[in-house]
């Protein structure tokens, strides 16, 4: 009887041991990381600004500038990409994230855009130090920068321009605002909509860059 009980218990123990070793399939989804990109501007447009640039200031090639740290609202300081489907609501995407701090990503792209439009290879962007001879400083405050309803991306931002020759650079020479909606074009298909959203957000930074550049070029400093 004892040996029969042992024979019966052994396979049961083995079965329980095998069951305990089974690991359930993971439901974890690896997040995708995204980067903003510089804009490609119309050649006629940049040529026009470049012509104005030479007429308004013959002493410099372009306008050497320094872009200060981009100011962001707290909810945009996360690396998760956000969406504002309706007034007073916000969604954080767990599986779609920025590949760099957004404040630095916006600064990088705006710096590249400004350099391209103004034809100014001599520039620096926070967190790098201001270069000697950069008479222009640019401060940008982002108010909103996200996907909103109806497949549109929204940028609300304000900017200030400082010049060393205007009140020793301690007071804004000019300032302005941008409030612009950009359509999200589903060119890559429904599954890749987040990529199209990032493209639209990058295009909005191009609009902001053009606004700043026109103000700098039209100055007499």
- Give the total number of structural domains in the chain: 1
In a domain, 14, yes or no: no
pLDDT per residue over 85-95, tens digit each?
888 889 999 99
Predicted pLDDT of residue 26 = 57
The enclosing domain of 208 has a CATH number of: 3.40.50.10610
Burial of 99 (C-beta count, 10 Å sphere; 0-12/13-18/19+): exposed
Question: CA 65, CA 115: separation in Å to the nearest integer?
Answer: 9
In a domain, 133, yes or no: yes
In a domain, 25, yes or no: no
pTM, rounded to two decimals = 0.79
pLDDT per residue over 127-163, tens digit each?
999 988 888 999 999 999 999 977 899 999 999 999 8
Q: What is the largest CA-CA distance in the chain?
A: 108
Residue 174's DSSP bridge partners are 161
Instruction: Of 9-18, 38-47, 93-102, 151-160, give the lowest mean pLDDT range.
Output: 9-18
* Model confidence band, residue 193 (pLDDT cutoffs 50, 70, 90): confident
Burial of 96 (C-beta count, 10 Å sphere; 0-12/13-18/19+): buried
In a domain, 7, yes or no: no
Predicted pLDDT of residue 8 = 56
Provide the residue range defining the domain that includes 42: 32-217
Give 131's contacts (C-beta < 8 A, 6+ positions apart): 64, 66, 122, 123, 124
In a domain, 23, yes or no: no
Say if CB 122 and CB 134 are below 8 A apart.
yes
Q: Is the pLDDT of residue 23 over 70?
A: no
Q: How many Å is the Cα radius of gyration of the chain?
A: 27
């Amino acid at each position: 009887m004892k040996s029969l009980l042992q024979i019966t218990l052994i396979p049961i123990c083995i079965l329980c041991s095998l069951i305990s070793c089974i690991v359930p399939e993971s439901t974890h989804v690896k997040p995708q990381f995204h980067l903003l990109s510089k804009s490609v501007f119309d050649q006629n447009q940049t040529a026009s600004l470049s012509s104005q640039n030479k007429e308004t200031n013959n002493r410099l090639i372009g306008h050497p500038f320094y872009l200060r740290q981009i100011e962001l609202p707290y909810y945009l300081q996360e690396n998760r990409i956000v969406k504002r489907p309706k007034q007073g609501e916000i969604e954080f995407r767990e599986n779609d994230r920025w590949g760099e701090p957004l404040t630095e990503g916006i600064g990088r792209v705006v710096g590249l855009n400004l350099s391209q439009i103004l034809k100014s290879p001599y520039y620096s962007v926070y967190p790098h130090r201001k270069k000697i001879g950069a008479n222009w400083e640019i401060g940008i405050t982002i108010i909103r920068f996200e996907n909103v309803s109806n497949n549109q991306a929204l940028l609300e931002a304000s900017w200030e321009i400082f010049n060393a020759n205007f009140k020793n650079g301690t007071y804004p020479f000019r300032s302005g605002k941008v409030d612009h909606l950009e359509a999200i074009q589903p060119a890559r298909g429904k599954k890749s909509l987040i990529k199209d959203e990032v493209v639209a957000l990058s295009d909005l930074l191009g609009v902001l860059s053009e606004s700043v550049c026109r103000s700098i070029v039209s100055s007499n400093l």
